[in-house]
Amino acid sequence: MFIYRILTSNSGISDKLVVTLASILAIFFSIIMHEVAHGYAAKLNGDYTAKSAGRLTLNPVVHFDLWGVLMMLLVGFGWAKPVPVNPANFRNRKLGMITVSLAGVITNLLLAGLSLLLLYLFAPLFVIPVTNAAAAVFRTLGLHFLLQMASLNFMLAFFNLMPIYPLDGYNLVNTFLPYGNPYQRFMVRYGFFVLIGLIVLSQIGRAFNAPYLDIFGMFYDLVYKLIQRVLAAGLGVK
């Protein structure tokens, strides 16, 4: 599990606290930006529902969803409280649904890309010996914040693109289908259970070393390798 891996690592207690703080900051910032992006995309398409509800803000209180944050802490991906969107207000309903559905995912990919760029640029600073304790703490915090921002945002993008209700991928696919289609009826009724089933299956695959069952773990492994290559490139290591 996400937090379990941090707490059971070989680092000292102070490092664990710093890494946990960096992870929590990255989690809240990433999922809040995802939802705010939905709200702004809806506003650009003529729907001011999110703005009227006070959701176009970075204040974490208005976006907090207990289960979504717990899932993020436990398995590494989750959600904030969805911003309210009324497609009836869109100037072009189909275009509005497409852009709103993709806004959060694109934002997560941009945040992940920016984090990788900063990791590449500042990689040498993360290995320079530091004698000042406060400087060492801030450096550890910065490094792990960027590491978590890169991995979490890639995971959020992958997670939300899955065509399962109520994720963005479902809304995107359903936009191109007629109203009341069998896919829509099935997903609205059973999508949440399908999603939980995939998460549980991934956890089982991870626990019993069956990677073909752990689709989220396999994607995370690819992201982890990408991050390591970026850091190595930043340090000039071939």
Tens digits of residue pLDDT in 155-175: 999 999 999 998 999 999 999
Contacts of 209 (CB under 8 A, 6+ apart): none
Contacts of 3 (CB under 8 A, 6+ apart): 20, 23, 73, 74
Average pLDDT (55-71) is 84
Instruction: Round to whole Å and give the CA distance between 48 and 51.
Output: 5
Task: Give CB contacts under 8 A, 24+ apart, made by 40-44.
Answer: 40/103, 41/99, 41/100, 41/102, 41/103, 42/83, 42/85, 42/86, 42/89, 42/90, 42/96, 42/100, 44/99
Q: pLDDT at position 81, please?
A: 86
What is the reported pTM?
A: 0.90
Residue 17, pLDDT above cutoff 90:
no
Q: Which residue has the higher pLDDT, 179 or 117?
A: 117
Average pLDDT (210-234) is 92
Average pLDDT (11-31) is 84
Instruction: Round to whole Å and give the CA distance between 52 and 34.
Output: 18
Average pLDDT (202-207) is 85
Interval 181-201: pLDDT, tens? 999 999 999 999 998 899 889
Q: pLDDT at position 80, please?
A: 80
Residue 3, pLDDT above cutoff 70:
no
Residue 6, pLDDT above cutoff 80:
no
Average pLDDT (142-154) is 95
Q: Active-site residue numbers?
A: 35
61: confidence class by pLDDT, cuts 50, 70, 90 = confident
104: confidence class by pLDDT, cuts 50, 70, 90 = very high
